[in-house]
Amino acid sequence: MTSADRNVKLTVNGKEYESSVEVRKTLADFLRDELDLTGTHLGCEHGVCGACTILFNGDAVRSCLMLAVQADGADLTTVEGLAQGDDLNALQLAFQENHALQCGFCTPGMLMTAFAFLQDTPDPTEEQVKEGISGNICRCTGYAPIIQAILQTSKGPALVLPTKDEG
């Protein structure tokens, strides 16, 4: 640990971590490099594309625009934390069923954005879904199947995060 390092203690996908981290390290890099949670992707590193979106105390945030030290004490969820063990949640299943991904690089960020959106807007219109994901770029699908997947999920039971012991 150098003078440019700080200790952080945080919860990710229900698991507690304590780690020394360089103060200049972004939260996205910390999750990917230190915790090996590589499902969080980096598409632009300037907050435009949304691929790095995670849940930060329940809110969708861009992990490329935060430093890891800012996450001290926070409760985070990444794409790896959506499924209960091997069982995908309804949103993940809907993405599969609707062919809502091609290369899959934007998918983790889309799922996290959509998850938070559906918490805030449980019964959205199509226009609301479009707006809800407008900060996440997908270069492959043209968005229509993603929008369908989110609308389909909204018709079912509310999404919940896995219980902690299995997360």
Partner 1 sequence: MSQSDEDISRPEASRMVRGRGRFLDDIKLPGMCYAAFVRSLHAHAYITGIHVDEALKIPGAIAVITPEEVLPHVEPVRPAAPGSSDFARPYDRYPVPPGKVVFVGEPILVVAAETPHIAEDMLDAITIDYEPIEAVTDVDQSLAPGAPTLHQGMADNIVFFREFGGGDTDKAFQQADLVLEKTFNFPRQTAVPLEGRGVIASYDRGQDHLTVWTSTRAPHQSRSVFATVMRLPEYGVRVIGPDTGGEFGIKGTGYPEAIMLSFLSKKIDRPVKWVEDRMENLLACAHAHEQRVEVSVAAKGDGTVLGIRSKVLVDQGAHCLGPTSAGLEPMTTGQSIVGPYRIENYHCEAYGILTNKCPGGPYRGVGTVQGVFVIERIMDMIAQAFDMDPAEVRDRNFIQPHELPYETVAGRLYDSGDYPGSLEKLLQLSEYQDLRLAQQRARANGEHLGIGISCFVEHTSTGSQDYHKRGVYGLPAFDSATIQVDPRGNITAAVSAQSTGQNHESVFANLVARELGVPYATVKIIEGDTDATPFGSGTGVSRSAVSTGGAIRLAAQDIKQKVLELARFFLENEEGELDIAGGEVFVKADPARRVSFARVAASAYDASREVSLPENIERGLRVTRSFDPPHQVFGNGAHLAVVRVTPETGVVKLEKYFVVEDCGTIMDHVVVEGQVVGAVAMGIGNALLEELRYDEGGQLLTGSLMDYLVPTSMDIPEIQTLHTESPSPFTEGGVKGVGEAGTVGAYTAVANAVADALLPFSVELTEPPVGPERVWNMIKMAQGNR
Residues that bind partner 1 (CB under 8 A): 22, 24-25, 32, 37-46, 48-49, 51, 78-80, 82-83, 88, 92-93, 95-96, 99, 101-108, 111, 130-131, 133-147
Q: Which is nearer to partner 1, 56 or 105 (CB)?
A: 105
How is residue 154 written in tokens? 């909204």
Q: Which is nearer to partner 1, 38 or 57 (CB)?
A: 38
Residue whose entry in the numeric block shows the structure tokens 């389909």: 152
CB of 147 to partner 1, least distance (A): 7
141-151 per-residue burial string, b: 16 or more CB within 10 A, e: under 16: bebebbbbbbb
Q: Which is nearer to partner 1, 73 or 83 (CB)?
A: 83
Strand 59-62: give its sheet, edge to edge: 15-22, 5-12, 75-77, 53-56, 59-62
> What are the φ and ψ backbone dihedral angles of 4, each rounded to 5 degrees?
-90, 10
DSSP one-letter string for 22-33 = ETT-BHHHIIII
CB of 16 to partner 1, least distance (A): 20
Q: Taking Cα atoms as reference points, which of 62, 136, 143 lies closest to residue 101?
A: 143
CB of 113 to partner 1, least distance (A): 11
Q: Which is nearer to partner 1, 58 or 135 (CB)?
A: 135
CB of 8 to partner 1, least distance (A): 17
Cα separation, 166 vs 26, whole angstroms: 27
The DSSP symbol for 67 reads: B
CB of 139 to partner 1, least distance (A): 5
Q: Which is nearer to partner 1, 10 or 147 (CB)?
A: 147
